[in-house]
A and B are shown apart, each in its own frame.
Chain A
Amino acid sequence: MPDGASVPRHRLHVVATSVAVILSMAVAGAASSCVESESTNTVQYWRSQSPTLRGKTTLKVGVQGDQPLMGLRDPQTGQYNGFDIEIAKIIAEGLGYQIELTPVTTPQRQSALQEGAVQLVVASFSITEERKKVVAFAGPYLAVRQQVLIPAEKADTIKTVSDLKKHRVCVINSSTSKERLLREGFTNLDVRSTNRECIDAIQHDETDALSTDATILAGFMDMYKGKFVVVDMGWDVSEELGIGLPYGDTWLEGLVGDILVENYKQGKNSRWQVAYNRNLAPVLGAKTQPVPKNAPDLMDITDRTSPRAVNLAAPKAPKDAVVRRVRGRVRGRGRR
């Protein structure tokens, strides 16, 4: 074939082939190292490092049993229901463990973790700097505001913070609600151990109001239809609810955070959204999951499945009718 003109092309061809062969070996080497390298950014690795999870097949999760819509124990069956309960199941299942629900009261949440009586706490546990010194948190999984529950007949007398200060206000020991009211200058606090005790006290006229998270109050208002109303005192600062974890176990903190992130990414199809729509949306209205903070992005075996293949059937949030009815009862937009 060749004539004089083809010679340079041939040399160019040899050079190009030589370069291609050398680069190909480099690419093959890179591919080989890619196969050989072991990733530590996996759920399996983090799980193996967690001292809390080591050697366990069942996780004890502390939950509250007296908070309608959040965590309520049926005395007849012993079964728990509510948003927190579903979140606890999502976390335990995501971690790959069987779950054993253990009742804890508000004051017991911290100590149960510190003493190792439970491995996780999903019980309307607000994330605070003070608590972070003794327990770890993953989340937030819900943002809530503090409000006040009063008997319906007192709706006209308790409308503002100053009105409230003239009445007895039941709060739960070791709760952030109590801390807030103390900061607000409340002196007539009726401190009790459980929300149930506060509700009973209101019904027996031993106290006038209950102040705690809006989610818990919405549950009681829904349970005692027409007997109570929720008053929004205008405390705009939201509290973030987190999953309580043993202090120092950053591996477990990352694992739980990763599960929350996974739910957050799935958006309206997530199990979080299903749980919210089923439990809280009827009284609190539509809401989406807050962005989890400081969570790693870990790989799991199920990440081989394409996101397009994940098609969880998420029930829609109920019609607005119920929401409007409940919101209509919220009175007295008082300001500090």
Chain B
Amino acid sequence: MRWFGGYGEGSGAVAGASTADPSVDPEPAASPPASARHLPDWPDRQAFWTLIVGAPLVLSVLRLWVEAGGELQTTLLLVANVDPINLIAAFVVTASWLAATVLVAVFAVGGVLLANEAATGGRDTLPRWLFARWRAAAPPWLTIGCFLLGALTWEILFLPLLLLAACAAFQISPWRQPRRWLRLLAALLALVVYSVVLWPTISLAYNRDEVVVVGLLLAPVLLALAIAGPIATFLVRPFAITAHGAVAALTLLAVWPFMTTPVLPLNVVVAGPAGSPPTYLRGHVVLVDDVHTVVLRDRGGVEYVPNGQIRSQVLCPSDEETPRFRLWVYGVHVEDSVLRGIGRSVRPIARERPECRVEVDPVS
């Protein structure tokens, strides 16, 4: 586990590092700080767990409120008819990447700050910065679990960033002793393999002038070689303030699309009495009983449609699923996650149905 910096179990490394002079020896800086079990209990730990467990529940209910358009009666209709299991499942599907992103960012920033605190001899005291404290408090299963969740749910385009974050959070460095040359050799080999595997995508992106994609695929991997270790002392404070603010801002920015992502699937219900032109109801089917199908319409309001008048009902994709790039990594789109890539290999994407084009409810 020393390769991973030994969080949570690297007591030997910590003990060894505690006697070193950080101004001279680079090793202690790269070594992990004390594990969670060596740190005193503090209120932040409770706050951390409260956040992890409580936030999804609160956000799920708030999403129903947003989906109801802020209307009390509509919210109550949704609450009465949306199964809590479905609500949690919808939350997991839509928020897993968000949770992984926020926690990965917290742990990466915390890892860098902890490395600095370790380098200045602060390993046995409470870390000064919040993210550093959270990083130290998080057990290995949580940190590793977050990164694994990120590996499955992040877009392939951002997986190099995840690698960079992992190197920061776990303080993985090829420059660390002992067996530095072996580590460097392994890092070089990994770089070569990475380049060979991604070369078709990188060269295609370069030929199409997709500079951002080239940068996102190459830069994080190179930066990962040097991310572990202490930063200059005068940079710690501005870095910590900026990083805390940036992660908070990122979370707030990510919460908005998450909150506005519907809980129920988007449908178009084609209905109307026999012999009359059909009406296209675009929205979310809240309830189907023996008599009615209840549609929460995109344009607002709730429609109770008699089941006998329903001619067809189609499921529609959301516009956010349109990709930005025409780039693939061995058949998997760079904007798909590994999970989605696996899904698409099982069932390819289908074209949008004509009924989904309806913006308002015209009579065709």
Contact = CB atoms under 8 A, between A and B. Distances in A.
Interface of A: 1-2, 6-7, 9-10, 13-25, 27-32, 34, 36, 39, 42-45, 47-48, 53-58, 93, 96-98, 299-309
B298 interface: no
A302 B351 contact: yes
B82 interface: no
A240 B241 CA distance: 63
Given A29-B246, A58-B364, A299 B230 contact: no
A301 B323 CA distance: 6
Interface stretch (B21-29, B32-40, B125-133): B21-29
Interface in B74-106: 105
Contacts of A42: 319, 322
A19 B232 CA distance: 9
B359 A30 contact: no
B232 A14 contact: yes
A70 to B, nearest CB: 25
B349 interface: yes
Interface string B315-350: 001010111101010011101100000001000110
A27 B364 contact: no
Contacts of B215: 27, 30
Given A53-B357, A54-B359, A17 B335 contact: no
A1 B335 CA distance: 46
B212 interface: yes
Nearest to B356: A96
Contacts of B219: 23, 27
B223 interface: yes
Contacts of A32: 250, 253
Given A13-B26, A27-B215, A29-B246, 19 more contacts: A14-B231, A15-B232, A17-B226, A19-B226, A20-B226, A21-B239, A24-B168, A25-B246, A34-B212, A34-B216, A42-B319, A43-B322, A45-B319, A53-B357, A299-B324, A303-B323, A304-B336, A307-B328, A308-B331
Contact of A10 (B24, B231, B239, B364): B24
A27 B220 contact: yes
B20 to A, nearest CB: 8
Given A29-B246, A34-B216, A18 B359 contact: no
Contacts of A34: 157, 212, 216, 324
A234 to B, nearest CB: 43
A249 B236 CA distance: 56
Interface residues on B, range: 35 or more
Given A10-B26, A18-B235, A29-B246, A97 B344 contact: no
Contact of B344 (A9, A31, A304): A304
B323 A31 contact: no
Max chain A C-beta neighbours (<10 A), residue from B157, B223, B232, B344: B223
A18 B105 CA distance: 17
Contact of B317 (A18, A301, A308): A301
A47 B158 CA distance: 30
B43 interface: no
Main SS of chain A's interface residues?
helix
B317 A20 contact: no
A2 B175 CA distance: 14
Nearest to B119: A14
A309 to B, nearest CB: 6
Interface in B161-185: 161, 164, 168, 175, 177
Interface of B: 20-21, 24-27, 29, 105, 112, 157-158, 161, 164, 168, 175, 177, 212, 215-216, 219-220, 223, 225-232, 235, 239, 242-243, 246, 250, 253, 280, 317, 319, 321-324, 326, 328, 331-333, 335-336, 344, 348-349, 351-360, 362, 364
B226 A96 contact: no
A13 B175 contact: yes
Contacts of A16: 226
Contacts of B227: 17, 20-21, 24
Nearest to A45: B319
Contacts of A97: 354, 357
A42 B332 CA distance: 20
Contact of A6 (B24, B280, B331): B24
B351 A96 contact: yes
A18 B239 CA distance: 10
Return the 10 tightest CB-CB contacts between A and B, nearest first.
A20-B226, A55-B362, A10-B26, A18-B231, A17-B229, A306-B331, A16-B226, A2-B25, A304-B333, A44-B319
Contacts of A24: 164, 168, 220, 223, 227
A45 B322 CA distance: 10
A25 B242 contact: yes
A301 B239 CA distance: 39
Nearest to B345: A309
B151 to A, nearest CB: 16
Contact of B351 (A53, A93, A98): A93
B323 A304 contact: yes
Contacts of A27: 161, 164, 215-216, 219-220, 223
Contacts of A19: 226
A109 B317 CA distance: 35
A138 B253 CA distance: 40
Nearest to A308: B331
Contacts of B175: 13
Given A32-B253, A44-B319, A96-B351, A25 B243 contact: yes
A29 B243 CA distance: 11
A23 B235 CA distance: 13
A55 B228 contact: no
A302 B349 contact: yes
